[in-house]
Amino acid sequence: MTAAQHSDEPIPTRLVALPMPPSGGFTAEDLPRLIEVVDGRFELLDGDVVMMAPATHWHDEVVDLLKHSLRAIAPQGFVIGSEKGVNLGASVPEPDVLAISRAVVRSDSLMFEPDDVHLAVEVVSPRTKTKDRKLRPLQYAEAGIKCFWRVENEDDAMVVYTFELLPEGGYAPTGVHRGRVKVDRPFPIDIELPEVTW
């Protein structure tokens, strides 16, 4: 079947019950209540609940590898987390991996303020290319998050694209890393990129 052809078979669905949004849409303040009633992973985007597609195995392995590699070297003032929200008001994106100020992390933390997020990492999957390459860098830069990494799959190996926030806004690319990431910000990082295996 080519990309232009469509099957007449119905697409299987799973019903997801969503609460009625307020007139101005949901905000980060609604997140704890939404988590209780929405069955499945979601993010807020401009006040709307957006369901997230299941991640690939490669994506999950990369998130685990990066999280553990960064935890091993993070200074005391940082916590390395994964898939926790960044409070942008009507939008609450969830970076795959984040470096957060230790002072604000609690056992029940669901999201963090942008000023407390020092690094946001997105691992690109086939179904998240546009979001991770275009939308997320724009959102994170506008929120003032100083460092952003995008991780791409190159023959099942990690390629890490690193970016830093410019004084006038927007991100400037600072490197393309294969096999090893060595950067000075948000803290000195020198890690080997492990082979992604299963």
Domain contains 37: no
Taking the CA atoms of the chain, what radius of gyration do you get in angstroms? Answer: 18
- From 100, 79, 94, 192, select the one nearest 146 (Cα to Cα): 100
What tokens appear for 135 in the block? 């939308």
Q: Could you tell me which residues are beta bridge partners of residue 189? A: 183
Mean of all residue pLDDT scores within the chain: 90
Domain contains 35: no
Per-residue pLDDT of 142-173, as tens digits, reads: 999 999 999 999 999 999 999 999 999 999 99
What separation in angstroms does the CA of 187 have from each of 20, 137, 144, 171?
Answer: 43, 20, 17, 17
Give residue 153's domain range: 57-192
Per-residue pLDDT of 67-88, as tens digits, reads: 999 999 999 999 999 999 999 9
- The secondary structure element, H or E, covering residue 58 is helix 57-71
Domain contains 100: yes
Integer Cα distance of 138 and 136 in angstroms: 5
DSSP 133: I
Q: Is the pLDDT of residue 3 over 80?
A: no
Domain contains 95: yes
Domain contains 17: no
- From 132, 102, 98, select the one nearest 117 (Cα to Cα): 98
Query: Where are the alpha helices (H) located in 83-193, listed in sequence order?
Result: 129-130, 136-143
The count of structural domains within the chain is: 1
Burial classification of residue 17, based on how many CB atoms lie within 10 Å of its CB (0-12 exposed, 13-18 middle, 19 or more buried): exposed
- pLDDT, residue 45, reads 86
Percent of the chain clearing pLDDT 90 (strictly above): 65
Q: Is the pLDDT of residue 13 over 80?
A: no
Domain contains 75: yes
Q: What CATH number is given to the structural domain containing 171?
A: 3.90.1570.10
Domain contains 184: yes
Region 107-119: mean pLDDT is 96
What separation in angstroms does the CA of 71 have from each of 77, 116, 159, 178?
Answer: 12, 17, 19, 20
Integer Cα distance of 68 and 51 in angstroms: 27
Domain contains 159: yes
